[in-house]
Amino acid sequence: MREIVFDTETTGLSFSGGDRMVEIGCVEMVNRVETGRTFHAYYHPDRDMPVEAFNVHGLSAQFLSDKPRFADAVEDLLEFVGDAPMVAHNAGFDFSFLNGELTKCGRQIIHMKRMIDTLQIARSRHPGAKHSLDALCSRFGIDRSHRVLHGALLDAQLLAQVYVELMGGRQIGLGLLSDTGPGASTPIVALAPRVVRPPRIFAVSEGDLAAHAAFMKGIKDPIWGAVASG
């Protein structure tokens, strides 16, 4: 099963209120194991960068000034995403911006049935606990020491690890499958054929037996002697 874990950075909290998406990061997973394939892009927002947003992700209007507009680079993103389910933390927020940008440039939106929200999963798994990405990384022992500012690709990579833990941990990817015919699942771990070796026969020479007997006679007051006499 192919899934895309993703995160976005924006100029604010509301696409309908005039905010825009300025960064997206995606991590490909197959059977909930990262494949190593990622997608990362910055976008020119055609507006200023509010200081509140800059303080979160550190992306200035000057830095984004030479980046492509979303409409000019959308094909690369859609090709990477394909028709896979999409995983995000507080996914409704990220979907609102992604679909807002798609609508703005006349492209088909991504159906909400493809949305998987790790925030909802975390709330159901651990009610009453803290559910921010930082809190979940701490809960599962995921190193986030390099996360000084929010970054879409970095956060997606952290979320991919959190998602696996929320869904049961690394053992979920262990598949001991032997069926490789049409329509069969691809195994994550394949067992090598067992090699049966003939038993080895060790013969003890007469000299070894004599040496052992002499050694045993030299032991004073052996405990096995006391057991035998008792």
| Residues with active-site annotation | 150
Q: How far apart are CA 229 and CA 109, in angstroms?
A: 89
Closest by CA position to 78, among listed 98, 97, 94, 58: 98
Phi, psi of 33 (to 5 degrees): -125, 130
CA 67 to chain centre: 28
- 81: enclosing H helix or E strand: helix 70-81
Please state the length of the chain.
Answer: 230
Q: How far apart are CA 87 and CA 160, in angstroms?
A: 8
Q: How far apart are CA 169 and CA 82, in angstroms?
A: 26
Is 25 in contact with 4 (CB distance < 8 Å)?
Answer: no
- 73: enclosing H helix or E strand: helix 70-81
For 176, residues 6+ apart whose C-beta sits below 8 A from its C-beta are: 187, 189, 190, 191
Closest by CA position to 8, among listed 151, 122, 114: 151
Q: How far apart are CA 177 and CA 188, in angstroms?
A: 8
